[in-house]
Amino acid sequence: MEQVRQTVREALRDAMAEEMRRDPGVFLMGEEVGQYQGAYKVSQGLLDEFGPRRVVDTPISEIGFTGIGVGAAFGGLRPIVEFMSFNFSMQAIDQVINSAAKTRYMSGGRIGCPIVFRGPNGAAARVAAQHSQCFASWYAHCPGLKVVAPWSAADAKGLLKAAIRDPDPVIFLENELLYGRSFDVPDDPDFLLPIGKAVIERPGRDVTIVAFSRMVDVALDAAGILLRDDGIDAEVINLRTLRPLDVPTLVASVTRTNRLVSVEEGWPTAGVGAEIAALMMEHAFDALDAPVLRVTGADVPLPYAANLEKLAIPQPDDVVAAVRSVCHRA
């Protein structure tokens, strides 16, 4: 397939534009999505093409516009609700969980809520504790949601298009630091990536490193160091979806490598890595030659000082150390 070089930002914009052209029920709402062209310029040009009926600037009222989005989805539309940052989704989390995620079940399947909640998640650069939280494990905890976290521009495009077409609420966790990164993206308006499927970004024999979103970069960097310095051939899995987790891909990889290290920006307790470790106990116990190790964000609110911030967020060296440990090379 023909590939085009695109930034993650452009891929997200194109995904929304293509789906809005395809389905008149799709609309975008959120703070600064229209006239301002997106707080991070993700919705650049959408107001010009689709007009204010379908690109709706909201006041700063997270729970209000989230609930309005949910009601619109109940009413048959397909809203894309942008959170300027997922940190602000905490204001709206009651509507996300109690209204969007639970209603299909509570209604015995009578009402669906086809809605996408998207925006940047996790740490950016020097914005400190209240603007730097990873919500992956919060949302991945909840039945009734799908939780997606793209890394590359192709991930962003294929998964966002799939999320918009999905009949259920999808939490779509982007990363501000990736918006400007360029990747190859298939040049096809029907390019979709399946929700619930992970991908092996770098095949390897000796250890499996599992990551999502920006931590895929960290894992790949670590894999490079490990090969160069230790001769360890690491397999890097990009989870892409956190709920439902692609357990078969993880189990198949661990069955080959016999070792697993998970990497995430979020906090350790009840995190995505904790879930992966438990799943490997349940599904791959006999394949493991070492305990599963987690590399996570430090168990503190994210600090501002540049040196402390770096210490709090997983770095390639942290992953390298964890891999050496599970490979008994420490």
Partner 1 sequence: MTPDGIVQPGKGLVMERGAGVGEPSAEELIRLYRDMLLIRRFEEKAGQVYGTGLIGGFCHLYIGQEAVVVGLQACAAPGDSMVTSYRDHGHLLACGVDPKAVMAELMGRRTGCSAGKGGSMHMFDVAAGFFGGHGIVGAQVPVGTGLAFAHRYRGDGGLCLCCLGDGAINQGQVSEAFNMAALWSLPVLYAIENNRYGMGTSVERAMAGRAMSERGFAYGIPGREVDGMDVLAVRAAVAEAVAEIRAGGGPRILDMKTYRFRGHSMSDPASYRSREEVALMRSENDPIARLRARMLGEGAIDEAGLKEIDGALKAVVAEAIAFAEASPEPVPAELLTDVLAEGRG
d(CA 261, CA 273): 8
State both tokens at 2.
């023909």
Q: Sign of dihedral through CA atoms 152, 153, 155, 160?
A: positive
Q: What CA–CA distances, in Å, run from 322 to 18, 201, 276, 319?
A: 42, 19, 15, 5
Longest dimension (CA), the chain: 59
Residue in 66, 89, 152, 238 binding partner 1, rule: CB under 8 A? 66
By the rule CB under 8 A, 27 interacts with partner 1: yes
Q: Look at residues 74, 82, 135 and name the one whose alpha carbon lies nearest to residue 102.
A: 74
**What residues between 259 and 318 interact with partner 1 by CB under 8 A?**
none
Told to judge if 131 belongs to the known catalytic residues of this protein, a careful annotator would answer yes
State both tokens at 51.
């007009």
**What residues between 167 and 186 interact with partner 1 by CB under 8 A?**
167-168
Residue in 32, 41, 77, 283 binding partner 1, rule: CB under 8 A? 77
By the rule CB under 8 A, 63 interacts with partner 1: yes
Would you say 140 or 223 has its CB closer to partner 1?
140
Would you say 91 or 325 has its CB closer to partner 1?
91
State both tokens at 298.
């430090």
Element (H, E) at 328: none
By the rule CB under 8 A, 117 interacts with partner 1: no
Residue 289 near residue 257, CB atoms below 8 Å: no
Residue in 70, 274, 280, 288 binding partner 1, rule: CB under 8 A? 70
DSSP letter at 133 equals -
By the rule CB under 8 A, 111 interacts with partner 1: yes
Minimum Å gap between C-beta 283 and partner 1 is 17
State both tokens at 286.
């006999």
Question: Which of left, alpha, beta for 211 (phi over 0: left; psi -120 to 50: alpha)?
Answer: beta
By the rule CB under 8 A, 95 interacts with partner 1: yes
Told to judge if 328 belongs to the known catalytic residues of this protein, a careful annotator would answer no
Minimum Å gap between C-beta 49 and partner 1 is 17
Catalytic residue among 62, 82, 176, 265: 62
Of the listed pieces 107-115, 117-125, 181-189, 300-308, which binds partner 1 according to CB under 8 A?
Answer: 107-115
Minimum Å gap between C-beta 312 and partner 1 is 32
Residue in 51, 194, 203, 244 binding partner 1, rule: CB under 8 A? 244
By the rule CB under 8 A, 34 interacts with partner 1: no
By the rule CB under 8 A, 23 interacts with partner 1: no
Catalytic residue among 18, 131, 174, 309: 131
DSSP 3-state assignment of 316?
helix
By the rule CB under 8 A, 90 interacts with partner 1: no
d(CA 290, CA 274): 15
Minimum Å gap between C-beta 105 and partner 1 is 5
By the rule CB under 8 A, 93 interacts with partner 1: no
By the rule CB under 8 A, 67 interacts with partner 1: yes
Residue 320 near residue 226, CB atoms below 8 Å: yes
Question: Which of left, alpha, beta for 138 (phi over 0: left; psi -120 to 50: alpha)?
Answer: alpha
Number of H helices, E strands in the chain: 12, 14
By the rule CB under 8 A, 30 interacts with partner 1: no
d(CA 51, CA 34): 9
Positions that interact with partner 1 (CB under 8 A) = 27, 53, 56, 58-59, 61, 63-77, 94-95, 98-99, 103-112, 143-144, 146, 166-168, 244
